[in-house]
Structure 1
Amino acid sequence: MSVDSSSQLVLDDTSSYILYQGDGWSPQDYDVYISQYRNETFHGTVVDGDSATVSFFGTDIQLFGGKRPNHGFYSGQLDGGTKQFFNGTAKHPELYQQVLYEVHGLENAQHVVVLRNEWRRYADSGGTYLDLDFIALNGSIISPDTIASSASATSSLQSNSSTVSGSETDPSATLPSSTAADSIIISGSLNAIQLAPTVPPSLAYVLCPS
């Protein structure tokens, strides 16, 4: 098992630790709103079923991306468990660096998170696009070479202390930029609340009222 030994990491979409699967994924650097994305890069796909997978050893993870008029439904999945579905469509205004999927309060163990384009599930509700901007996590990142063997990992959410969500959070806090190819250490105290004992302020966001 190949592990990067950092406790708090941010992975850009270009990181080699993210496993992109499917025919549609491509890095984007020509979008008219590319400056709204972290490091001015993101990966996008219009193919239903395309997925982005990250494997890590730790307790908390957040996946960020855009919500725009041409975006559709997508799912987040932890450790092969039940999919959580979200609508990625936003029009006025378009939204960037949004929390697409997050999990907090996990057992400090190995986990696999999958973000998947699911636009056909609700084809009349939005667009077909899904993009991934960056990933933030508490723990150590694991090489994609081990992801396949982790597919059967069981969910280890701690009872009554875990939070799984998507559009319910307010990711307005700004993470620092990075010159590293794969990851940086998150620093500073952001305008946030603590969702679980293991979540530092830099990874916990204020919940918006429904």
Structure 2
Amino acid sequence: MANDLCPVCETNKLSLMSSENLADGKICANCLSRLGLVAGTTGISVLLKRITVDKAKELLANNQMLAISASQSQQQANISSIEIPIEPKVSVAIPDEIKGWNWGAFSFNWIWGIANKTYLPLLALIPLFNIVWVFIVGAKGNEWAWRDGNYKDIDTFKAVQKTWNRAGLVQFIVLMIILAFYALFFAAIISSFVNSYNAYSSYGY
């Protein structure tokens, strides 16, 4: 910090105690003074977080000064008078081609979610609730992954999810086979107990 130059004036060194943060950098005490501000003043950080380095340079070049009023309403007026470009929030469109059931999202749920940078599937870790939630993840997973995964094109997305789909379907089939074996095993044990009980009963035990 001690050896860094102020990005606004590119002349004065930044000091830990007398510099302030801008939206995308820092500003030295001298530049603050030229803007009519003093480092550490109440409310100054709120104002400066709305100002970029380039905007600060423009204000200084035009000999414009800023003021921090004691009242909150005046502070807001001072801040809003500075035109700061704000990028609008863009909603991500969901292509129809990627909508549909995802076996990977259904079978691997929270693991699939972490891998695809979408975290709603983590709710599948909640006991009992997950019985219903895994079906929602399977149905909506593709849309969440497209929205949060920063995929560049549909083909890349489909290629990635195709692998997950195969693995998820295999996982589901294997699980069903295991459950079927368990069901048959317990059915056989119960049947054996019932037959044994009936046999003992027939002999008058």
TM over 0.5: no
TM-score under structure 2 length normalisation: 0.17
Q: Computing the radius of gyration over CA atoms, which structure comes out larger, 1 or 2?
A: 2
Q: Which has the higher helix share?
A: 2
TM-score under structure 1 length normalisation: 0.17
Q: Which has the higher strand share?
A: 1
